[in-house]
Amino acid sequence: MKARQVFVLVIITVCTLVSPPLRCQHVNSVETRSKLNGSAVDFDWFREQFHRRYEVSSEEFKRRHLYFQNATKRHAFLNSFSTAPRAAKYGINQFSDLSQKEFRDLYLRASADRAPLFSGLKTQGLPAKFDWRDKAVVAPVQNQQACGSCWAFSAVGAMQSVHAIGGSQLEQLSVQQVLDCSFKNEGCNGGSPSSALNWLKQTRVKLVLQSEYTYKAKTGICHFFSQSHDGIAVKNFTANDFGGQEEAMMGQLVERGPLAVVVDAVSWQDYLGGIIQHHCSSQWSNHAVLLVGYDTTGDIPYWIVQNSWGTTWGNEGYVYIKIGDNVCGIADSVAAVFL
């Protein structure tokens, strides 16, 4: 405990010496969390910060501490690729006491249906930057918790944004309804945004509000509503592969609204912030997210992506991915919704 007090005292002392004061950040800052080294003091901080309650000296404690130490070694490796100010930073977050297998099994449960190559025309005169959040049509970041429901959050996120773009009030629709009722998917065990949208299109099922069918973070029994019940139905959707055509993908985002995409998010277990440019392959699609914007005004053009792991992860729940080179496989499976 004394070591921990000294650790905190040192941080406070350093903060008082930094000028100007607004630059001083708590130990929870991205920069600090990317430099924690797996020591017992750091692990104590982690357990307090993320409310871990496993007993000291228990087998679970020892196992989690080992995973935590392994995570800090990964962070050092990942952070060694670039020291540029806007480069991605990796460090301690809510997933740092999970093994890589546990993380994959719990959170990376999406699949990408094979999509045809996009054959449309590029949109002319695209703005240098565009963000649907500026139009107040993107719902707040959600937290899927320990349920592989990202595919449902991605599909529903696109639907509720497109509905708002059409002039309606932005309302959160029921992810749990899709999770329970989309029979071609597997609930918390995984699924595909395109498959979910196809189910909604074919059945003409109307999604009700989240307040009517609340999220449980587990697969349940499907609750049916009459066709006369208020809700939002999918008229159509498109799913395409934009590999090598990310400029055309930008056009689809501007014209159609936020897009449901499937990516390889293995390295996201350790992500804190910044623009992902490296060590994020396009070989294995495993996580579904919502693409809401882009920015090409800086040295590194990037996509703006809403995740479903809560606001304590990444950039307040968002991740930035370099445009070009199909980083993380972001262009491989892209779905747009029509209501």
Q: What is the pLDDT of residues 50-63, one digit of tens each?
A: 999 999 989 999 99
- Is 236 among the catalytic positions? no
Q: Is the dihedral of CA 272, 273, 279, 284 positive or negative?
A: positive
pLDDT at residue 30 in the model: 75
- Rounded mean pLDDT of the chain? 90
Q: What are phi and psi of 62, to 5 degrees?
A: -65, -40
Query: Which residue among 150, 188, 280, 328 is the active-site one?
Result: 150
Buried-state track 304-324, b at ≥16 Cβ within 10 A, e below 16: bbbbbbeeebbbebbbbbbbe
CA atoms within 13 A on the CB side of 208: 18
Q: Which fold would CATH assign to domain 129-338?
A: Cathepsin B; Chain A (3.90.70)
Say yes or no to pLDDT of 315 above 60: yes
Q: Sorting pLDDT into bands at 50, 70 and 90, what band is 200?
A: very high
pLDDT at residue 295 in the model: 99
Say yes or no to pLDDT of 219 above 90: yes
How many Å apart are CA 325 and CA 302, to the nearest integer?
Answer: 11
- Is 150 among the catalytic positions? yes
Residue range 90-120, pLDDT digits in tens: 999 999 999 999 999 999 999 998 899 999 9
Say if CB 170 and CB 160 are below 8 A apart.
yes
Tell me the range of 30-44, 79-93, 155-169, 226-240 where mean pLDDT is highest: 155-169
Q: Sorting pLDDT into bands at 50, 70 and 90, what band is 68?
A: very high
Helices in 18-121 by DSSP H: which ranges?
A: 30-33, 40-49, 59-79, 100-107
Percent of the chain with pLDDT over 70: 88
User: Which DSSP category does 241 fall into?
Assistant: B
Question: Residue 283: is it exposed, middle or buried by C-beta count within 10 angstroms (0-12/13-18/19+)?
Answer: exposed
Place of tokens 């070591």: 3
Q: Sorting pLDDT into bands at 50, 70 and 90, what band is 25?
A: very low
Percent of the chain with pLDDT over 90: 80
Say if CB 150 and CB 179 are below 8 A apart.
no
The amino acid sitting at 99 is: S
Query: Which residue among 65, 75, 163, 287 is the active-site one?
Result: 287
Say yes or no to pLDDT of 47 above 50: yes
pLDDT at residue 83 in the model: 77
Q: DSSP letters of 193-234?
A: HHHHHHHHHHH-PPB-BTTTS---SS--PPPP--TTS--B--
User: Which DSSP category does 280 fall into?
Assistant: -
Higher pLDDT, 171 or 18: 171
Residues of the chain with CATH 3.90.70.10: 129-338
pLDDT at residue 62 in the model: 96
Residues in the chain: 339
pLDDT at residue 326 in the model: 96
- Is 240 among the catalytic positions? no
Q: What are phi and psi of 174, to 5 degrees?
A: -80, 110
Query: Which residue among 286, 307, 315, 326 is the active-site one?
Result: 307
Question: Which segment of 178-187, 273-282, 297-306, 320-329 scores lowest on mean pLDDT?
Answer: 273-282
Pairing of strands 318-322, 275-276: parallel
pLDDT at residue 32 in the model: 65
Higher pLDDT, 151 or 120: 151
Q: DSSP letters of 73-98?
A: HHHHHHHTT---TTB-EE---TTTTS
Say if CB 221 and CB 97 are below 8 A apart.
no
Say if CB 279 and CB 293 are below 8 A apart.
no
Q: Assign residue 337 a region: left if phi > 0, alpha if psi is -120 to 50, beta otherwise?
A: beta
pLDDT at residue 227 in the model: 82
pLDDT at residue 38 in the model: 65
Question: Which segment of 222-231, 234-243, 268-277 scores lowest on mean pLDDT?
Answer: 222-231
